[in-house]
Every structure is written in C-alpha cells, then in structure tokens.
Amino acid sequence: MIGDLGAADATELAGLVATGEVTPDELLDAALAAVEARNPALNAVVLVQEEVARRSIREGLPHGPFRGVPFLIKDLGVEAKDFPSHNGSRLLANTRYSGDSAIFARMKATGVVTFGRTTSPEGGIGAATEAAVYGGPTRNPWNTDHTPGGSSGGAGAAVAAGIVAFAHGSDGGGSVRIPASSCGLFGFKPTRARLPDGPYAGEGWAGMAIDGFLTRSVRDTAVMLDACEGADLGAPYWAPPLARGHAAAISRPPRRLRVGVCDTTFTGEPIHPEVAEAVRATARLLESLGHVVEPALPRADVPGMMRAWTDIVAVGTALGIRGALKGRPLTGDLVEGVGRGACAHAETLHPTRYLEAVGEIHAFGRQMAGVFDAGPDILLSATLAEPPAKVGRFSHATEDYVAYRTGPGGIFAYSPFCAVFNASGQPAASLPLGMSGDGLPIGVHLAAAFGQDETLIALCAEVERAAPWAGRRAPVAA
C-alpha cells in the first residue's frame, strides 16, 4: 500500500498516520523512493535533506493537520534555517539562513515532514522552470517534452508525479496557478497579504507576490491556508479578516453567484480553441449548478498593467542581483540572460519610474475592484492561453527582458490572465478541468473580489465535487 500513496491527498495521508496505518518514516521512505525513481526524468526535486527530515520525526512532530506528511518547499524565498537554497540561481547557490521565515514556521507547525526543495527559474520571472543552476530544465510529468510551468514548476512537477501529495509554491504573476494549470493540479492565490512575507522581506514585487501551494485537492489548500494565514509582526499590509476560515468555507457550497465568462483574453484576442472550450464547458457546469452565467470582458487597462508589472519586476530583480554580486561584474557564468536583461532594462528607467509604476498598479487594482463591484461575483477565464508550452520556448538565454515578457509570443501572450490578479491583489485559482487532445492538462481560472477568498474557495470545492479530478494520473506518476 505504501508504494501507491502517490494517488492520495495530504489530508488522507495524515489520516493514515493518525490511525497508525503508516508511520511518518514510512511515508518519507516512499517519498524518497519516488524521488529516486521519478525525479531523473523530471529534474524537479533538489537539495534533499533526508537527515533533517528524519531528525524532525525523531524529535517529535507537531500535532497539526498534516502530521507526518512529506513536504517540499520551493527553492526561491521561504527562508529556512535547515534548508539551504540556490534560489534558482548560480549567483545565490547554497545560500544559508540564520532562522526560519514566518511562512515556513507556520507550515512546519502543521506537522509536515519537509525533506527538500523544488526547482524554480532564476528570479522567479518565467513561465517555465529551466534554471542553469540545476543542470537542465524541469519537465512535465504528463509529457516530458513540455514544461510544468513556472516559477513553481518544480513543485507542480513533484506533486503531479506523485512524489509528494502537496508542495509549497509562490505566485507573483501566476507562479502557482501556471504550474497548476500545466500539471493538472489545484492552485490558489490568496488576497494580497493573506500570508506573511517576513521577516526577510517586507513585500514581494510591490505587494504583488504571495506564497501558496500546489495540491491535488481543494481541502488540502484550504487547511494549509488556514494554518498559515495572517500578517507577521510588522507587516506593511493586512488582508481583510476571514469570517470562518477556508476549511469551514468549503464545508458547504457558496450562495448562488453571478459568474462572468471570458473565453478570450481580457483584451478580446482569441485563445487556443481547446482552452476556450474548457472555459465554456466550465461555464455550462456552473450554470447547471444554479449559478447565473453571462459573458464578460473586464474594462481595465491590462496592457498598461503589464508594462508597469514588467518595470517593477525589473527593478526588483536588479536590486536582488546587484546586492548578491557584491561588486563582482555581471557575467553570464553567474546570471542568466533574462536576469542580465532585467538589470539592463532597470538601468534605462528614470529614478521616479518605480513609484510611478506602483501607482499604475494601484490604479489598475481600483479598476478591477470596479469590475467586480458593478458586475460579476466571479470572473471565469482560462489560466493560460494555450496548453503547456514545450521545453525551451521560454528559455532564460535571451537578454531581451522586455520582449521576453511583453513581446509577440512572450510570457504575457502565453499567460495573459494570472498577473492581472497579482496586480489587483484579488484571490484567484486554477482548477484542473480540461485536457487537450494530446493529453496535456488545461487549467480554468476563477477570480473573486478583493478579500472574498472564502467565497472563491467554496466555489472551487463545489466544482471539485461536481467534476472530480482526483482520479487523473500523469504518466510519470503511474
């Protein structure tokens, strides 16, 4: 039975530990065996710390909701004393931390057994995970010619491959939802500041970045969000308080909602026909559940938001790289092309441009708030404009950072939906509701008004019950 636990979610595994059917050491053995068997084809799990995991079991795990369940953290951010990090970069390889970040401390308190990290692109600024520090690209368990997405691509691949039941990720422009869509998983981005950033950072990318999780079930995400939510000491932002919590919210369906459906991009361009049909099929499902469904196209300056996002992330990337260089030259053996291009672009910007771009993001957030105030409770779209891209399409080799993000065929053309809700701060989720004709997952995206996390996750749980996805297994997992 241990060998087939790759099909279970984390809640089920924790239940087996609680009843004594399996031990935390046996689950860790199974996860490590899965790494050995499946990771060579994927390159998703790195920096394995087996002895740290064994020691945490020996010393006594917290009696939290996921006690004894193997867990992986993203190799970007989530600072942890016992888990050195490459942060997706040769420049930052083997970085060590003096203490744990607030988010890691809260995850650890759930009783998970963390045993390593998952791959991320350098700087977290790509929709694919192909960082040079890991010696090759990370591949999709559904088809290894394709990317699992980014920047939490290693997390998505590890969960879809059955190595772990769930994993940590983070999302500054879709970096949880893109891998969720690409790997056939559930990915939820909470309202801005719902989860803590400190003490190592005050905010990520002007408040647009936030942590999250790649899971097989809505309930795993709900319970982990409840365990981790709330501002840390001295946080610059606070999210609106929850009424009951995510786990309580999914215990019953939400009220019947007004759902706006967009089967194009938010600026009206067509998307891949199989992806558009997955959106329309979801609309029909929601209508069958009693929700009021109607076409929608949000009136907001999406191209302007994307330009502001691109400038903010360039400045943030340059700040991180320049600090880590410590006076050394910016060379290709330390920093990949896109990172060097981001630094070059940042240097072309006027000193006031960063604050101007932040102001544009804030104005965009108000536009999106108006969309939901005047129109739907939920906005339904695709997560990506097409099925998962092939490995190499979004390589970081190019130094044209702006074209990489905003040019024809670039990241924003491929992923025109997700970053909208990082900029607005609104909660959004990708649900694994579609499959392409050649067997690749297609995610469908739901978003709600600022602070309405409980309504959104309750709807996600209702959809999961109506159209279960738990039985789908990637070929590498099977």
Q: Which residues are catalytic?
A: 74, 151, 175
Closest CA relative to residue 443, chosen from 210, 252, 212, 278: 278
What are the tokens at 195? 């989860």
- Give the whole-angstrom CA distance, residue 386 versus residue 137: 20
Cα dihedral: 183, 189, 194, 199 (round 10): 50
Type of residue numbered 187: G
Rounded CA gap, 188 and 167, in Å? 12
**CB of 111 closer than 8 Å to CB of 65:** yes
Residue 205, Cβ density class (10 Å: 0-12 exposed, 13-18 middle, ≥19 buried): buried
Cα separation, 48 vs 406, whole angstroms: 36
Give yes or no for a contact between 427 and 446, defined as CB atoms under 8 angstroms apart.
no
For residue 113, give the DSSP letter: E
Residue with tokens 């194009």: 264
- 322 contact partners, CB below 8 Å, separation of at least 6: 343
Enumerate residues 6+ apart whose C-beta is below 8 A from 187.
Answer: 156, 169, 171, 176, 177, 179, 180, 181, 212, 213, 214, 215, 221, 429, 430, 443
Chain mean position to CA 147: 14
- In angstroms, rounded to a whole number, what is the distance separating the alpha carbons of residues 419 and 306? 8
E-strand stretches of 352-440:
378-382, 428-435
